[in-house]
Every structure is written in structure tokens, then in C-alpha cells.
Amino acid sequence: MQGLSYLRNSFMGEIEKIKLRLRQFAEERDWDQFHSPKNLSMALSAEVAEIVEHFQWLTEEQSKQLSNEKLGEVETELADTLIYLIRLADKLDVDLLQAALSKIDVNEQKYPVDKAKGNAKKYTELGK
Amino acid sequence: MQGLSYLRNSFMGEIEKIKLRLRQFAEERDWDQFHSPKNLSMALSAEVAEIVEHFQWLTEEQSKQLSNEKLGEVETELADTLIYLIRLADKLDVDLLQAALSKIDVNEQKYPVDKAKGNAKKYTELGK
Amino acid sequence: MQGLSYLRNSFMGEIEKIKLRLRQFAEERDWDQFHSPKNLSMALSAEVAEIVEHFQWLTEEQSKQLSNEKLGEVETELADTLIYLIRLADKLDVDLLQAALSKIDVNEQKYPVDKAKGNAKKYTELGK
Amino acid sequence: MQGLSYLRNSFMGEIEKIKLRLRQFAEERDWDQFHSPKNLSMALSAEVAEIVEHFQWLTEEQSKQLSNEKLGEVETELADTLIYLIRLADKLDVDLLQAALSKIDVNEQKYPVDKAKGNAKKYTELGK
């Protein structure tokens, strides 16, 4: 039994593992009551804004050369963002990994190399 | 050769795989010039806001029961969010998976079950 | 002279007055160099996220009944939001007041009372 | 009567006038049910993100030189932001104008010209 669980775990994806750990975390604290998709979308956006706040007065060049202290702070916000994102996807029963892979496929169609090369136009504006 | 590459690939994490695919996507389109951490943080926040927009006029209950059409739209925004998040972490040379796991460890310390159970207080307000 | 300045001031709109005060504030501190529209849009979004953060775990009902302490905190974030919004509009040379009045006119056309009454559909979905 | 109403109106502030117009707009459409502070904070953040989206791939310099077409689009988003901000303040019974004026006073104390000149540090980091 132990062995089977170990086997399954070793084949389980990273995002799946985090998802299950977050699920347990919330259950133990009786936090599911707060974790409606609506609320989680707000928490997600608040975390992302903390990333934005780190960069708002920096030039693009400065944003590439953060001090170790700053980088550590941003790293924590990135982690929080992934945590809320996985939690939100779980609550909506969305396979986040599969969704991302499919979206990359779509983007490769939407932005063909020859048209998109070197410009940041939205796909609806390509060719204009 | 083929075999070794296959082997490495099969042990590579999901986030790592997406990271490499996004890196190639950007290189082929010469988009690295646009992908400063500052700019990517903005793109990330704009994607998350599209998730928020889907939920803004819904009650919490309604946000748990999306129609298939709505859910499909939200799924795409979740995918875009993960894509920009992985890309931003890559540009900052942050190990996103490790950062998330460490942050969950921290959260387990910050929010002990006996104090956090059933309330949504920030850890700085626990015990008040 | 004094008198004329006083007269002009008394007829000047509120938003105009704040705009001029913020302009002087930035000039005295040599902060115009940081106040590109791009940067101000980021600062604006970070402020709004602080409002969102106050509400993320509250029910809609609770959000209507903030404690005085919470309300004071939200009030400060609302103020910061207005400040950055006026500053951003100034930097873009947009007449914010006029833009808002025009947009309300547009909304009155887009959302006729008989169709919009009691539902939160986007105008593109009215009549569906 | 007419005359008194006219007189009062002519002394009423701009923000106050917009506030009353938005109140009537919502009442006529029976939209107060959707306008909890929680929901309005989400709508506000979604509007601001649409501003951010316009600037995300632009350099700071480019963000200062928008085409007329782009500027018109940004103007509409700025208007929507002011509208939701005034509406949210109204629902919380906050005097937005007074709050902004007080916050500017506070900022003048927090960021004295001699210390803040030419740097974008947060006030908690001034003097470091």
C-alpha cells in the first residue's frame, strides 16, 4: 500500500503536488469557506500588484538587475502568486498545466514567427 | 543521443518544460527585447485582472458555478497568468517551484492550525 | 494681482486644483523623471490593489460595514488612487473631468434603463 | 425653488456632481444590488488594468507619446476609473476630495523636499 502511494506520488506532477498540499492546508484551517473563486481572484490580483509595486519606479534596465535583497522579496511574491493561482484553478476544477500547454499551442498559431518577429503588436493587429 | 535527451526530458519538471518552451517562443520572435521584468509584471497583472473581471459582478456562490462557456474563458486567463508568471520568474532567474514550496513551509509556520482555524486574519493579526 | 489670482482660484475646479498641487509637489522633489505614464499606471494599479486587499476575504455584506479603523485605511487608499489618477491624466494631458462626464453620457446610451434594469450584463450581451 | 436648486448646483463640487449622477444612474437601473464595496473594488481594479495593458510593451518614452487613437482609448479607461472610484467612495460614505487633500498634506510631511529630492525611495527608506 505504502509502496503504491509512493509510486503514484513519484509520477505526480509538481503542480498537482502543490495543489494537494494547498488543499490540505486549507482544510486543516477550515479556510475553504473563504476560498470562493471570486475571493481567490482578488487575492491573486493583490499578490501580483505587490510584484508590480517593486518595479514601478525602476527603469526596464534596473528591473533586470535587482539587488539580492529586492530579488528575495520579489521571489516571495512570485511564490504567493503561484500558490493562489494553483488554488484558484483547483477550486474551478481546471487542469492548469494542460491549460497552459494548450494556450502555448494557440499562441504559436496566433503569432507566426514571420509576422510577429520583432514587434509587440497584439495578434489582432498583426499584418496591419 | 536521442535517448539521453528523452531521458532528461522525462525527468524534467513541468514548470521547467514550460519555461524552456516559452524561452524558445520568445527567441524565435525576437521578443526578449520586450520581456523586461518590469514589462512582464505589467502583462501578468493585466491577465489577472481579466480573471477578476469575470467574477466582479458575481456572488461568491455564482463564482463556484460558472457555465461551461464562462469556465472556458476563465481557463484561458488562468493559462495566460501561468505563462507570464513562469516567464517572469525565468527572466529573474528565480526557481518558481522551489520558491512556492518554501513559501508553503513558511505559511505553515505563520498560520498554526490552532490559531488560524476558521478565521481569515492576516498572520500579523493572529492572537489579537 | 493677489485679488485676480484669488478670483481665478475660486472658479477653478477641484480636480484642477489637485492637479496643480501635485504638479508642484513633483517639481519640488524632482520626481517628474519617475512620472512617465507607464510608471504612473503601475503605481495606480498597485494602489487599487491595496483597496482590493482590504475586501478580499470579506463577504459583500461585510464590505458594507467596515469598522472605523478599516474604513480609515481604505479611505487613505482611495485618496492615493485619486492622486495617481489625476497625476496620470495630467501627464497625458487628458481632461479627466470632461472624460468622465462624456463617459457617463455614453453609458446612458449603452445601458438603456428598460434593457439594463436589474441585470449586470455587459452592454455587448444586453438583449441576449 | 428652481432658482435655489440652480444656486446650490453651481456651488456644488465636480466630484459631488458626478457622485449624484452615478447614484441616479444606478438607481434607475436597479444596480445598487451589484454595487457592494467589494464588487466595486474589483471593477475598479479591472479598469485600471486596462490602462496598464496599453502601456505594458511600451518604453517609458513611448508612453509619453501616444498616438491620438491610443490616447483616446486610454482617456476612456481613465474616465471609467474615476467613475468607479467615485462610486466606491460614495458607497463607503467617504469624502473623496477631502481624503485626497488630507493625503497630499501627509505626503508633504512624509517626503520633505531636502530628503526626497531626485530619488524615488519609499518614505520608510528615506535617509537610508
Residue A57 clears pLDDT 50, i.e. is over it: yes
Residues of B whose CB is below 8 A from D46: 49-50, 52-53, 56
**Is-contact B18 B51, C-beta < 8 A?**
no
Closest CA to B74 of C39, A37, D66, D2: A37
**Is-contact A101 B18, C-beta < 8 A?**
yes
Q: Report the C-alpha dihedral over residues D72, D73, D74, D78, rounded to 10 degrees.
A: 90
Q: Which three cell numbers stand for residue A113?
A: 514567427
**Is-contact A9 A39, C-beta < 8 A?**
no
What pLDDT, on a 0 to 100 scale, did the predictor assign at position C63? Answer: 98
What pLDDT, on a 0 to 100 scale, did the predictor assign at position B91? Answer: 98
What pLDDT, on a 0 to 100 scale, did the predictor assign at position D117? Answer: 87
Using CA atoms, how far apart are residues A119 and A41, in angstroms rounded to an integer? 31
What pLDDT, on a 0 to 100 scale, did the predictor assign at position D38? Answer: 98
- Which of D32, D45, D63, D81 to mutate to probe the B interface, most B CBs <10 Å? D45
What pLDDT, on a 0 to 100 scale, did the predictor assign at position A42? Answer: 98
Residues of chain A with pLDDT > 70, as a percent, come to 88
- Choose among C39, C48, C50: nearest Cβ to A57: C39
Rg (CA), chain D: 19
Q: In this predicted structure, which of A115-124, B33-42, C80-89, D74-83 has the lowest mean pLDDT?
A: A115-124
What pLDDT, on a 0 to 100 scale, did the predictor assign at position C42? Answer: 98
Chain centroid to CA D22: 14
Q: What is the ipTM of this complex?
A: 0.90
- A79 pLDDT band, cuts 50/70/90, is very high
Summarised one tens digit per residue, pLDDT across range A95-110 is 999 999 999 999 999 9
Residues of chain C with pLDDT > 70, as a percent, come to 88
Helices marked H in chain B — which ranges?
A: 2-11, 14-28, 37-55, 60-63, 68-91, 96-110, 113-116
Using CA atoms, how far apart are residues A13 and A19, in angstroms rounded to an integer? 10
Determine the distance in angstroms separating the CA of B43 from the nearest CA of chain D, rounded to an integer.
6
Q: Which three cell numbers stand for residue C86?
A: 489625476
What is the torsional sign of CA C80, C86, C91, C94? positive
What's the start-to-end Cα distance of chain B, in Å? 61
What pLDDT, on a 0 to 100 scale, did the predictor assign at position B72? Answer: 98
The reply to whether residue B88 touches residue A99, judged by beta carbons under 8 angstroms, is no
Cβ contacts of residue D110 below 8 Å, gap of 6+? D123
What pLDDT, on a 0 to 100 scale, did the predictor assign at position A69? Answer: 97
The reply to whether residue D88 touches residue C61, judged by beta carbons under 8 angstroms, is no
What pLDDT, on a 0 to 100 scale, did the predictor assign at position D41? Answer: 98
Residue B117 clears pLDDT 80, i.e. is over it: yes
Closest chain A CA to residue B49:
A45
Q: Which three cell numbers stand for residue A85?
A: 493561482
What pLDDT, on a 0 to 100 scale, did the predictor assign at position A121? Answer: 78
Average pLDDT rounded to a whole number, residues D95-109: 96
> Higher-confidence residue: A10 or C91?
C91
Residues of A whose CB is below 8 A from C120: none
Average pLDDT rounded to a whole number, residues B100-118: 93
Residue A1 clears pLDDT 50, i.e. is over it: no
- Which of D30, D32, D42, D44 to mutate to probe the B interface, most B CBs <10 Å? D42
The burial of D2, by beta-carbon neighbours within 10 Å (0-12 exposed, 13-18 middle, 19 or more buried), is given as exposed
- C35 pLDDT band, cuts 50/70/90, is very high
Other CB atoms within 10 A of residue D57 CB: 20
Residue A55 clears pLDDT 60, i.e. is over it: yes
Using CA atoms, how far apart are residues C54 and C59, in angstroms rounded to an integer? 11
Q: Which three cell numbers stand for residue A112?
A: 507566426
Other CB atoms within 10 A of residue A104 CB: 15
What pLDDT, on a 0 to 100 scale, did the predictor assign at position C12? Answer: 82
Summarised one tens digit per residue, pLDDT across range B64-93 is 999 999 999 999 999 999 999 999 999 999
- C20 pLDDT band, cuts 50/70/90, is very high
What pLDDT, on a 0 to 100 scale, did the predictor assign at position A3? Answer: 54
Using CA atoms, how far apart are residues D113 and B90, in angstroms rounded to an integer? 39
Using CA atoms, how far apart are residues D38 and D43, in angstroms rounded to an integer? 9
Q: In this predicted structure, which of A111-120, D27-36, D66-75 has the lowest mean pLDDT?
A: A111-120
Closest chain A CA to residue C36:
A57
Closest CA to B85 of B19, B9, B17, B12: B19
Which element (helix H / strand E) includes C116?
A: helix C113-116
Summarised one tens digit per residue, pLDDT across range C42-85 is 999 999 999 999 999 999 999 999 999 999 999 999 999 999 99
Cβ contacts of residue D32 below 8 Å, gap of 6+? D26
